């Protein structure tokens, strides 16, 4: 799994979060996507690394601006993650 974190400028409310989440879902096939206008970021979990330019284009087409993109390996944490 890969966790991709996007810093996004322009989100001001929960509807903005929904618009960004919808744009991400249409552009790529995420396992999970969640946005926070308070933090100004979107987190995406996916099976493989995502096409950053495709993500950037989809989000910017909705009127928001992607300031930064960071990808890193993701391993589920928590109680069940203790037993491999």
* Helix, strand and coil in the chain, % to nearest 5: 30, 35, 35
pLDDT digits (tens, 9 = 90+) for 27-72: 999 999 999 999 999 999 999 999 999 999 999 999 999 999 999 9
The CATH class, in words, for 2-74 is alpha beta
Q: What is the pLDDT of residues 1-13, one digit of tens each?
A: 999 999 999 999 9
Q: Which of 33, 61, 62 is nearest to 46 (CA)?
A: 33
Instruction: Note if the pTM is more than 0.85.
Output: yes
For residue 80, the 8-state DSSP code is G
């Amino acid at each position: 799994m890969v966790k991709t974190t996007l810093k996004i400028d322009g989100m001001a409310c929960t509807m903005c979060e929904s618009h960004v989440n919808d744009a991400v879902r249409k552009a790529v096939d995420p396992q999970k996507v969640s946005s926070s206008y308070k933090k100004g970021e979107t987190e995406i979990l996916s099976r493989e690394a995502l096409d950053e330019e495709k993500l950037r284009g989809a989000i910017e087409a909705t009127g928001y601006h992607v300031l930064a993109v960071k990808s890193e390996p993701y391993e589920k944490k928590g109680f069940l993650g203790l037993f491999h």
